[in-house]
């Protein structure tokens, strides 16, 4: 299997990420023109991890996204359903408690984490509403969620240029740097089919999250959503 279909069968998506695990971080850096580093910094600020807090980093992949929370002194659990990603992550960060898990059925008790976060992974989960409810379930009362996800550019001319990049420029760049370029064609298509910022905020509220707010990064190419568990 080289490319997941947009109906997002879990085993297909997991297999796709297994295939790209070895060069995943480098490929993301190239394809985002280095913007992914800035986005990770903004996620870290929004999560605001504190010493001794428990943080779940869902769809953590190789745990690059988890490192700012580790540096803040939090106890971080990187969770992903791609065993290939987890193996690469464990090799790079052997002390971290990597956990295999599906976002629709998380392997954690209720009310465990002070903060839960997922970056660029929510749109790859088959049932978004169920995933949002699962994140809510494992969060302590008073805890928070931060979702960083590709979204929709807010300025029409920029949106046109961005979509042209996704569908025309991204595949040849991916062929040059990725072990599975077809996976990045799927990712481009999944970005285009993803709900806009306001729709995702409504889905979060429906799942139980309160005080839901969002802000755009890089002109809306990426959006940060945050909510709290009452």
User: Nearest Cα to 206, choosing from 150, 131, 138, 148?
Assistant: 131
d(CA 155, CA 173): 25
pLDDT over 70 at 14, yes or no = no
Distance of alpha carbon 8 from alpha carbon 189, whole angstroms:
12
pLDDT tens, residue by residue, 113-143: 999 999 999 998 999 999 999 999 999 999 9
Task: Give per-residue pLDDT as tens, 162-177.
Answer: 777 766 766 676 677 6
Return the pLDDT at 59.
95
Q: Does 102 belong to an annotated binding site?
A: yes
At 228, the pLDDT band (50, 70, 90 cuts) reads: very high
For position 168, what pLDDT does the model report? Answer: 75
In terms of pLDDT, which residue wins out, 3 or 75?
A: 75
**143 annotated binding-site participant:** no
Report the SS3 class of residue 148. Answer: strand
Instruction: Give yes or no for residue 3 having a pLDDT over 50.
Output: no
Contact in structure between 208 and 229 (CB atoms under 8 Å): yes
148 bridge partner residues: 119, 224
Residue pLDDT, tens place only, 165-215: 766 766 676 677 666 667 667 777 788 889 999 999 999 999 999 999 999
Q: Is 200 left (phi over 0), alpha (psi -120 to 50) or beta?
A: alpha
Report the SS3 class of residue 162. helix
Please work out, in degrees rounded to the nearest 5, the angle formed at the alpha carbon of residue 28 by the alpha carbons of 26 and 30.
70
Q: List the alpha helices (DSSP H) in 110-155.
A: 128-138
Q: What is the pTM of this model?
A: 0.83
- Residue reference for tokens 């990770």: 40
Separation of alpha carbons 83 and 128, rounded Å? 21
Distance CA 50, CA 78 (A): 17
pLDDT tens digits along 31-61: 555 678 899 999 999 999 999 999 999 999 9
**β-pairing, 210-217 with 222-228?**
antiparallel
Query: pLDDT digits over 62-105, tens only?
Result: 999 999 999 999 999 999 999 999 999 999 999 999 999 999 99
164 three-class SS: helix
6 vs 192, more confident: 192
Check whether 119 is labelled as a binding-site residue.
yes
To the question of whether residue 48 is assigned a binding role by annotation, the answer is no
Consult the annotation and say whether 110 binds a ligand. no
The per-residue pLDDT for 108 is 98
Average pLDDT, the chain: 86
With 0-12 CB in 10 A as exposed, 13-18 as middle and 19+ as buried, what is 37? exposed
């Amino acid at each position: 299997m080289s490319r997941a279909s947009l109906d997002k069968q879990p085993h297909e998506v997991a297999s796709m990420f297994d295939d790209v695990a070895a060069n995943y971080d480098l490929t993301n850096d190239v394809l985002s023109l280095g913007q992914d580093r800035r986005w990770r910094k903004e996620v870290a600020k929004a999560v605001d991890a504190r010493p001794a807090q428990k943080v779940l980093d869902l769809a953590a992949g190789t745990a690059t996204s988890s490192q700012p929370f580790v540096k803040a002194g939090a106890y971080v659990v990187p969770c992903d359903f791609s065993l290939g990603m987890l193996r690469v992550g464990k090799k790079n960060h052997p002390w971290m408690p990597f956990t295999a898990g599906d976002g629709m059925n998380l392997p954690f008790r209720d009310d465990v984490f002070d903060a839960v976060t997922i970056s660029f992974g929510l749109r790859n989960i088959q049932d978004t509403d169920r995933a949002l409810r699962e994140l809510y379930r494992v969060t302590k009362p008073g805890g928070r969620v931060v979702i960083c996800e590709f979204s929709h550019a807010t300025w029409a001319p920029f949106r046109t240029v961005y979509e042209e990049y996704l569908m025309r420029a991204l595949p040849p760049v991916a062929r040059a740097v990725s072990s599975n370029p077809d996976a990045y064609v799927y990712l481009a298509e999944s970005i285009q089919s993803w709900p806009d910022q306001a729709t995702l905020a409504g889905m979060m509220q429906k799942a139980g999250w309160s005080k839901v707010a969002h802000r755009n990064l890089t002109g809306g190419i990426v959006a940060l959503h945050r909510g709290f568990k009452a």
